[in-house]
């Protein structure tokens, strides 16, 4: 994979706009849901590992 170079006389730098209150809430809620789902998956995987270890 190579480097992407800016063509001459073209600037790809960007400035992001400030998030609105609603956007901040939506992102926060998404992060909470994502972390909760990851925790559930980890618990499920941990329990499965324990069952496999007990059978061995």
Contact 39, 33 (CB under 8 A): no
How confident is the model at residue 1, as a pLDDT? 63
pLDDT tens digits along 2-21: 787 777 887 777 788 899 99
Residue-number span of the structural domain to which 50 is assigned: 23-56
Is 47 inside any structural domain? Answer: yes
Is 40 inside any structural domain? Answer: yes
Is 38 inside any structural domain? Answer: yes
Is 7 inside any structural domain? Answer: no
pLDDT tens digits along 32-45: 999 999 999 998 88
How confident is the model at residue 7, as a pLDDT? 79
The total domain count for the chain is: 1
Q: What pTM was computed for the model?
A: 0.57
Dist. CA 23–CA 16, nearest whole Å: 13
- The token pair at 9 is 């006389």
């Amino acid at each position: 994979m190579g480097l992407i170079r800016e063509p001459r006389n073209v600037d790809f730098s960007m400035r992001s706009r400030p998030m609105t209150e609603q956007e901040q809430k939506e992102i926060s809620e998404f992060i909470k849901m994502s972390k909760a789902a990851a925790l559930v998956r980890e618990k499920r995987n941990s329990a499965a590992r324990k069952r496999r270890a007990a059978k061995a």
